[in-house]
Chains A and B, each alone.
Chain A
């Protein structure tokens, strides 16, 4: 329905006014910047969560005691607490730092906080399923150093977890609104922020066309996500 409205010439007249790509083109003209920014932030966010999340998951998988459970609990807090609260905290503490507040990095920080637990959990689930300890002991007995073990034994074995986590992170980052709406500036709008903006101030057709573009981008990611999670759960079972 939303899709149809995006390619209808005049929504108030109905589909009989003809189908057109005019609105899609207009959205591209007005908002293409937000689309590229969202993709860029999602990829940067992915890089950060891999760099931070995979080692963290490894630490949590190797040592399981009260402290590591506490760490896991803490790192999951940004997901349990509404994004609005996290965003307000960031603004109050760092909002005075102009260069940071005005740059896309400010949004990236919020997205990393929010998506890190998903990457960590996804990797951790695979790590716990593949008996990392035995594999690593075998490699160590053959004389592999820690760095080598991590790169050639740990990472390849948890690749399905990283893949599923990565798709999740990119999807969430692309669609994140609760945090981003507070963290963005007029110069650092992302796709969902642009969507809210177009719903509020543009013709219905433009909002619909914009939504259409968003769906075209996000649905393939979601399908890939389902495929990847289906694969990992079969592997873990």
Chain B
């Protein structure tokens, strides 16, 4: 019964990927092209900044989402349902739309620029670089992580916390020794998804500026501007392996249910 799905998968994913693997090694450097991402200073810088950006986004997202997710799950207030719904909307926004929103907020004619130029006489514009990208990625990563955090906070057994309290643990101790360990699988899996999504995200960076030095844009430029198919192929294989490995590692650490999206 799974045969039709597998056939489509083989024809349109396995075969193309196999071809990509071959093309990646067909350039002037041969198989060494796969090492270029480490040996070529330019690509290496691109790789490092992409990994650093994605890791930074993941850490910031988790920190914000933990606080917000625990708060939202523990407190009932009017409009809570609406707030949660609103927050999860960006989940399905394409990267280009997120990028455009960042421009409207922090771009040359953006809201932040407007406010800062009125207050301090200096226009703050940070949309078109790493900072803008960071903001955009944060914006579409937070909802996903908050949902995961909320779901696992819901499953926490309140008895554990009560027991810790009755033994005289402070709020900080309860958080550190009871709540955080229980949330660790959720943190690892949603962090990995966040990392993998940021590594591969293309739309946001593409909208903000095509010159930002992140790996997906490097691949895109190699392919379209320099027609360097072999290099684009080997770089995208490397990128694919990194994101897949991040997800696979998270899954073996945290159990099932880890898959990237968006």
Contact = CB atoms under 8 A, between A and B. Distances in A.
Contacts, number: 186
Contact of B259 (A94, A109, A117): A117
B19 A192 contact: no
Contacts of B23: 92
Contacts of B115: none
A175 B17 contact: no
Given A52-B8, A92-B233, A195 B96 contact: yes
Nearest to A75: B9
A172 B244 CA distance: 20
B260 interface: yes
Chain B: interface size category = 35 or more
B96 A75 contact: no
Interface in A166-220: 171-172, 175-178, 181-182, 192, 195-196, 199, 204, 207-208, 211, 214-215, 218-219
Interface of B: 1-2, 4-6, 8-9, 12-17, 19-20, 23, 85, 88-89, 91-97, 99-101, 103-105, 109, 111, 196, 199-203, 206-207, 216, 219-220, 223, 229, 232-233, 236-237, 239-240, 243-244, 247-248, 259-262
A83 interface: yes
A226 interface: yes
Nearest to B85: A226
A135 interface: no
Contact of B244 (A1, A71, A81, A222): A81
Interface string A59-98: 1101000001001001111111111111011101110000
Given A85-B17, A172-B261, A199-B207, 14 more contacts: A5-B104, A55-B5, A78-B9, A79-B260, A80-B243, A80-B247, A81-B200, A85-B20, A88-B232, A89-B16, A92-B19, A177-B96, A192-B97, A207-B100
Nearest to B93: A175
Contacts of A80: 196, 243-244, 247-248, 259-260
A84 B1 contact: no
A56 B91 CA distance: 26
A196 B92 contact: no
Chain A: interface size category = 35 or more
A178 B203 contact: yes
A116 interface: yes
B211 to A, nearest CB: 13
A11 interface: yes
A218 B96 CA distance: 14
B47 to A, nearest CB: 14
A163 interface: no
A56 B6 CA distance: 8
Interface string A1-24: 110010000011000000000000
What 7 A-B pairs have minimum CB-CB distances, sorted nearest first?
Answer: A82-B200, A89-B16, A59-B1, A85-B236, A81-B240, A56-B5, A59-B2
A79 B5 contact: no
21 contacts: A56-B2, A56-B6, A59-B1, A76-B259, A78-B13, A79-B259, A79-B260, A79-B261, A80-B259, A82-B201, A82-B202, A85-B236, A88-B232, A90-B12, A112-B8, A116-B8, A120-B5, A172-B262, A178-B203, A199-B96, A222-B89
B140 to A, nearest CB: 11
Contacts of A53: 5
A1 B96 contact: no
Given A82-B236, A195-B96, A75 B203 contact: no
A51 interface: yes
B96 A74 contact: no
